Amino acid sequence: MKFPGATGGLSLSHVHRGGGAAERPDNTLETFLWCWEHGAAVECDCRRTRDGVGIMLHDPTLRRTARGVPAALADADVSSELDWADIRDIDVGSYLSPDFAHHRIPTIDAVFAAMEGHPERLCFVDEKGFGPRAIADKAREHGVLDQIYYTGMWYDKTLEWTRIVPGGKTMFWIGTFPGPSHDATGAAAFEAYDDGEMDKLRAGDFRGVSLVSLHVWCDWEAPVPLVPRPECLGRYITELHARGIPVAAMPFEGGARDETYLRLRDLGFDAFSTDHPSVLFRVLRRLKGA
C-alpha cells in the first residue's frame, strides 16, 4: 500500500513546465489543457511584465522560445523592459514545431480561468517574480485557490504563502544542477545537498509543506544507478510520510523510460514530475488501472 493510498497520490503527478523538455511548448495554455485532458497536473512558471501583468514564462527573456521577433526584443528582460502589449502576440510554440506556431504566452488570469469549474485541474505555480500575494489574489478571484500548489525551493517563500493563504497548499522541491556522477563520490555529494535542504524543513518542523518533490537521476546501467541512492531516498520518504507529507520524484535523467517511474513507485514515491509527458500519461494509466 502506497501513501496516501494505492493510487490517490498519483493525482499529484505533474508535467514540468507543462510541456516537458521537448514534447510540447512549455508554459502555454494549449499545453496545459493537453496535460489536464490526459489526467496530469501542470507545473508552470509565473513572472510579471513591466506593467504588472502576471504571465506564465520560465525564462527571464524570450530568447529560447520566441520566434519572428527582433533580437533586441528577444534579449530584453521581460519583467523590467517589456509590457504585456509587447509580447502578447508573439509565437512561442514553433521553436519546437510549426504545428505549434499558434501558441502564445498566457496570462495567469487565462490559466486560472481555464481551471474554473474543473476541480481536477491542479496547477503547481513556481513563482518567479509575480509574488505570492498576487498569485493568491488571482486564484481567489477565479475561485481556484484550492487547486493551486505554491511551488519553489525557498522555504521562507513557502511559509509566506501559508501566512497569506492559511491552510494553502505548497510543493517544496529539492535538487541541484548539474546532475551527479553515478559513483559513490557523486552520490554522496548530491545527498549532502539534499540533507541540507531537508534540514531547513526540519528546522521549521515541516510547517506549511504539503508535498515534497525530490530530483532523482537514473542510469540503470551505471555503477550507482540511482542518485540519491535508494537507502537515502527511503529515509526521506519514511520521514516525510510520518509527517503526512506525500513525496514526488522528478527523474531529470531516465525519465524517458517507463521502467524508471515503476521502480520509483516501488521505492515508495506517491507521485511524479516529468519532462516526458507521454511517458507519464502511459505510466499513470497503467498504475491507476492496476
**pLDDT score recorded for residue 8:** 72
**Average pLDDT, stretch 56-70?**
97
**pLDDT score recorded for residue 4:** 47
Domain boundaries, the chain: 8-60+108-289
Percent of the chain with pLDDT over 70: 97
**Which residues face 105 on adjacent strands?**
none
**pLDDT score recorded for residue 1:** 37
49 pLDDT above the threshold of 90: yes
**pLDDT score recorded for residue 31:** 98
pTM score of the predicted model: 0.95
- Kindly report the average pLDDT of the chain as a whole number: 96
5 pLDDT above the threshold of 80: no
2 pLDDT above the threshold of 70: no
Percent of the chain with pLDDT over 90: 95
- More reliable by pLDDT, 216 or 8: 216
Q: How many residues does the chain have?
A: 290
**pLDDT score recorded for residue 177:** 84
202 pLDDT above the threshold of 90: yes
CATH for the stretch 8-60+108-289: 3.20.20.190
132-142 and 155-164 are packed helices; what angle lies between their axes, rounded to 10 degrees? 40
**Residue 94 pLDDT class (50, 70, 90 cuts):** very high
**Average pLDDT, stretch 61-84?**
98
Judge whether 212 and 171 are in contact, CB under 8 Å: yes
**pLDDT score recorded for residue 290:** 59
- More reliable by pLDDT, 14 or 2: 14
Q: What is the DSSP string of the chain?
A: --TTSTTGGGGG-EETTTTTTTTS-TT-HHHHHHHHHTT-EEEEEEEE-TT--EEE-SSSSSTTT-BSS-HHHHHS-HHHH--HHHHTT-B-STTT-GGGTT--PPBHHHHHHHHTT-TT--EEEEESSS-HHHHHHHHHHHT-GGGEEEEES-HHHHHHHHHHSTT-EEEEEE--SSPPPSSHHHHHHHHHHHHHHHHHHHHTTTTT-SEEEEEEEE-TTSSS-EES-HHHHHHHHHHHHHTT--EEEEEEESTTSHHHHHHHHHHT--EEEES-HHHHHHHHHHHHH-
**pLDDT score recorded for residue 7:** 57
**Average pLDDT, stretch 83-106?**
98
